[in-house]
């Protein structure tokens, strides 16, 4: 969390493993605009997949009803890691979307799946098991499957700012109407930044930033710092607050499969 202010002393233990802030980043590979160079002659029309514009702040729905709609499950297992992480995907209901297109449960589920399918996301641990003793992780690897029933390990929820604030506050975290958090086996993704991105992550990049970071907390990781000037920022770093001289990064692993680590920073 962005320093995740501790509201009650009894929340300290939980606060150590929870987090309000996503790590956001502008990846290096985005610097070159592939689309314009690749399709400039064949496609005179505008870019086929323009980045969505951030939603204006006043358009972001502020609240929902605190209940959730659940996405369909799937037999599709992403990765071959040792530990199966079954995750349930939920979107808050009762949200007044106004002129915005409603984010359907399938939309949110697809976005999460796309994050996991990236070759540098957590499923890459199958080929590159992770050992981070300070985080209690030893030669671990994970695979992921979306489920819809009552048997799951973690829920990933997209919720309005008011609901995220309320749920996260119960474990002593102040998400300030924009940050996300993990509480127990529930990941609360804040709709505001999902629609807006952040100062250092575009709307397109934000799902990778926030899902990889918050799932990292669920897998047992606490925050990490920058390991040195010019190094890639760990996904478990709170990159939007201070890069500490590191280069922004959206993924747990490098393109070469190295886990991007840094000094242990208990939150
Ligand atoms: Zn965090």
Q: What is the pLDDT of residues 58-96, one digit of tens each?
A: 999 999 999 999 999 999 999 999 999 999 999 999 999
Q: What is the 189 CA–ligand 1 centroid distance (Å)?
A: 12
Query: How many whole angstroms from 236 Cα to the centroid of ligand 1?
Result: 6
| pLDDT tens digit at each of 267 positions of the chain | 444 443 333 332 233 333 554 333 333 233 333 333 333 344 444 555 667 888 999 999 999 999 999 999 999 999 999 999 999 999 999 999 999 999 999 999 999 999 999 999 999 999 999 999 999 999 999 999 999 999 999 999 999 999 999 999 999 999 999 999 999 999 999 999 999 998 778 899 999 999 999 999 999 999 999 999 999 999 999 887 888 999 999 999 999 999 999 999 876
CA of 97 to the centre of ligand 1 (A): 28
Please tell me the predicted confidence (pLDDT) of residue 50.
65
- Give me the torsion for CA of 208, 209, 215, 216, rounded to 10°: 120
Rounded to whole angstroms, how far apart are CA atoms 23 and 238? 5
- Ligand 1 centre and the CA of 213: distance in Å? 6
The Å distance, Cα 180 to ligand 1 centre, comes to 8
SS percent in the chain: helix, strand, coil, step 5:
25, 20, 55
Confidence at residue 66, expressed as pLDDT on a 0 to 100 scale: 98
3-class DSSP state of 159: strand
Residue 75 to residue 217: CA distance in whole angstroms: 25
**C-alpha 98 to ligand 1 mean position (Å):** 31
- So what's the pLDDT on residue 35? 32
Å from CA of 63 to ligand 1 middle: 23
Alpha-carbon gap, residue 39 to 224, rounded angstroms: 40
Say if CB 175 and CB 109 are below 8 A apart: no
Segments making up each domain of the chain, as ranges: 9-21+53-217
DSSP 183-198: ETTEEEEEHHHHHH-B
CA 252 to chain centre: 11
d(CA 259, ligand 1 centre) in Å: 17
Q: How far is the CA of 171 from the centre of ligand 1 (A)?
A: 14
Q: How far is the CA of 127 from the centre of ligand 1 (A)?
A: 25
What digits encode the pLDDT tens for the residues 186-221?
999 999 999 999 877 889 999 999 999 999 999 999
């Amino acid at each position: 969390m962005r320093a995740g202010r501790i509201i009650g002393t009894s929340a300290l233990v939980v606060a150590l493993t929870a987090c309000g802030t996503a790590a956001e980043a502008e990846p290096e590979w985005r610097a070159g605009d592939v689309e314009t160079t690749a399709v400039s002659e064949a496609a005179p029309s505008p870019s086929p997949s323009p980045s969505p514009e951030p939603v204006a702040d006043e358009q972001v729905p502020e609240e929902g009803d605190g209940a959730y709609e659940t996405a369909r499950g799937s037999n599709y297992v992403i990765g071959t890691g040792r530990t199966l992480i079954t995750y349930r995907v939920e979107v808050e209901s009762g949200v007044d979307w106004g002129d915005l297109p409603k984010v359907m449960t399938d939309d949110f589920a697809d976005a999460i799946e796309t994050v996991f399918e990236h070759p540098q996301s957590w499923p890459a641990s199958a080929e590159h098991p992770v050992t981070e003793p300070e985080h209690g992780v030893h030669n671990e690897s994970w695979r992921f499957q979306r489920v819809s029933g009552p048997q799951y390990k973690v829920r990933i929820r997209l919720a309005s700012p008011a609901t995220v604030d309320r749920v996260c506050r119960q474990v002593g975290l102040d998400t300030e109407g924009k940050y996300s958090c993990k509480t127990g086996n529930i990941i609360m993704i804040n709709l505001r930044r999902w629609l807006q991105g952040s100062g250092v992550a575009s709307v397109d990049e934000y799902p990778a930033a926030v899902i990889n970071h918050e799932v990292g907390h669920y897998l047992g990781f606490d925050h990490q710092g920058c390991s040195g000037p010019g190094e890639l920022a760990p996904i478990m770093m709170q990159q939007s607050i201070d890069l500490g001289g590191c280069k922004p990064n959206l993924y747990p692993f490098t393109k070469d499969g190295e886990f991007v680590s840094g000094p242990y920073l208990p939150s």
